[in-house]
Structure 1
Amino acid sequence: MASSSSRDGGSPWKKHSCRSSGEPPEEKQLRNWEDLPWEVTASIFSRLMATEILMRVQFVCKPWFDICKDPLLWRRINVVNDREAAVGRLCRHAVDRSCGGLLDINIDYFGTDDLLEYITDRCVQIKRLRLARCYHVSDAGLNNAITKLPLLEELDLSLCTFSKEPLKAAGRCCPRLQSLKLNRQGRIPCFVDPNEGLEVNENAFAIANHMPELRHLQLLGDRMNETGLQAILDGCSHLESLDLRHCHGIELKGKLKKRCIEQIKSLQLSH
């Protein structure tokens, strides 16, 4: 690839190398971003938001545009935006560029049922799905998406309003699911009556009854009590890590505390 020294005006992406204070100014060295190996540049781009690549990076120069079209760059898509009206369209464009090879996607704020359907109709190899503050995704929309992701290994639902039904669907349709994260902190009362019945334990029972292969479980701010925790320990015998921070309905003591310590390698509690 030609360096900027052969072009009029050089490249805007040059930067000076570090030098000692005693080095003469005329000996300073210039480095051109275009001289980086393709693999290094692609690795850097893969750490950017999808919107940054599609709206800025790909327009810098022709070599960068070619890199940004490579499906390998779009195996992981991260889109966080709550203002841009066009962000849904950009996310679809990123999905198209993956050519079905998408493995990991994070959607924050702007998710909808239609967008999830678009993604999962085209990318069935997804191993990690994260939805955060996606208040316009319904139970039915998430259920429909999950049924098309048999290779899903990690499901992360943060500050969303889903019921237990998507958890059941994940247990039925995703036999490789090993990690589940539910962050309800800030969306429900911090303190609950530990004597409440089935309703506070509905997530725990759905997990216990449908996800026997789980290795990692995070339930931030869940309302379950000791009954729900007991069900999880019984139903998910392979659990290695359990995060129950802000689960104030659980008073861990006695035999239940002893069992948690013996069965779980990494245990995080509210207290």
Structure 2
Amino acid sequence: MHRRLRKKKTKIRRRKRKSQAMNPSPLSPPWVDLPSDVTANILQRLDVVEILQTAQKVCTTWWKVCKDPSMWKVIDMRDSLPDFNIEIMCREAVDRSQGQLTDINIGYFGTDELILYISERCSGLKSLTLKLCCDVSSYALREAVRNFPKLEELHLLFHCIGAEDVENIGTSCPQLKSFTLNAAGTNYPGLGHDDSWALAVSKSMLNLHHLCLLGHNMTSEGLEAILDGCPHLQSLDIRRCFSIDLNKGNLGKRCSERIKDLKFPHDAIDDCNKIASEFVHCYNYYDSEFSNYSDSDLFGNYEDYSEGDYEDYTDLFADDFLASFLPGGHQYI
């Protein structure tokens, strides 16, 4: 009896070996055996949408790497087309960082809820960029930066905030070294002179190394205040600040001697026009397209955002406002 069982088991083992020899297991893809840090370096070259929609689904190894908080220390969504899921995807990326987020760049789709969501979870943030995020109010931004005491860079591209908000930002972020406030519409003929933004910077942002105040109505006195209040300033962008007279006293000489990288009021603004053109393209896309994927498929635990949340989107950008950014239109910037 025992001999028969042994013979039977031997035959089974031989058949298995023969079957394995005839049908070898498929080789694992070569990228599976890469070190995790190398894999992360490769995947970080993709944008957030590509990672969440596609890359993480390739294999188990990539899934694990894409869930690692170190993958999400930097989140760059400056060129993400706005649709009904993009804010949800941004929140997912923020959550995956588990508080390790240091640098985030948001274009077009930012909202009050999103910026406050980030501030509640990522107090170690060092760099924040908002590009044409017209749904982020001054109040939400002011509240958010209170939770960013380590913030070193803040760039607001075509974002309107008041001088009091600028001063509050400087007070809340004492380590701020780089600040950008590109205005839309502040330097339009007939609006008069206004040094309030410049004075707010000079009072509250004493450690600045880089400053861009493009398109503001500050005067030579405002610029003098900035030079007095920001002794560490190395680069200064005052393009479209036409109320500044650099020939007044020794202001021009002082700027040239103090500032290593100086952009003058009449210097070209091609880079700003490029941003505005991108916005018009993005706006047209948003107006004509709908999302091709489901919220529940990607992030079932997150609240769905309906079309009603965006019903007033087009009212924010009237034709005359858009025309100000287009070639041949009124150059507000």
**TM range, smaller chain:** 0.7 to 0.9
User: Secondary structure of 2:151's partner?
Assistant: coil
Aligned-pair Cα RMSD in Å: 2.0
Normalised by the size of structure 2, how large is the TM-score?
0.68
Aligned to 1:58: 56
Aligned to 1:188: 185
Aligned letter for 2:244?
Answer: I
CA contact (8 A) 1:223 1:248 kept: yes
Matched, 1:205 2:203: no
Aligned to 2:36: 38
Cα distance in 2 between the residues matched to 1:173 and 1:258: 33
Cα distance in 1 between the residues matched to 2:178 and 2:52: 30
**1:162 Cα deviation after fit:** 1.9
Aligned to 1:144: 143
Name the one with the larger strand percent: 1
**1:191 Cα deviation after fit:** 5.4
- 1:1-271 mapped onto 2 (5 Å cutoff): 7=26, 32-79=30-77, 80-184=79-183, 187-188=184-185, 192=189, 196-197=192-193, 200-253=194-247, 254-271=249-266
Structure having the higher Rg: 2
Aligned to 1:15: none
Cα distance in 2 between the residues matched to 1:189 and 1:169: 20
How many residue pairs were aligned? 241
CA contact (8 A) 2:203 2:229 kept: yes
Aligned letter for 2:104?
Answer: I
Gaps of 5+ in 2: 1-23, 267-333
User: Secondary structure of 2:130's partner?
Assistant: strand
Greater shift, 139-148 or 46-55, is seen at 46-55
Name the one with the larger helix percent: 2
**1:262 Cα deviation after fit:** 1.7
The percentage of counterpart residues that share the same residue type is 44
- Greater RCO between the two (CA within 8 Å, min separation 6)? 2
Distance 1:6 1:208, change over 3 A: farther
Aligned to 1:14: none
Normalised by the size of structure 1, how large is the TM-score?
0.83
CA contact (8 A) 2:129 2:154 kept: yes
**1:243 Cα deviation after fit:** 1.4
User: Secondary structure of 1:143's partner?
Assistant: helix
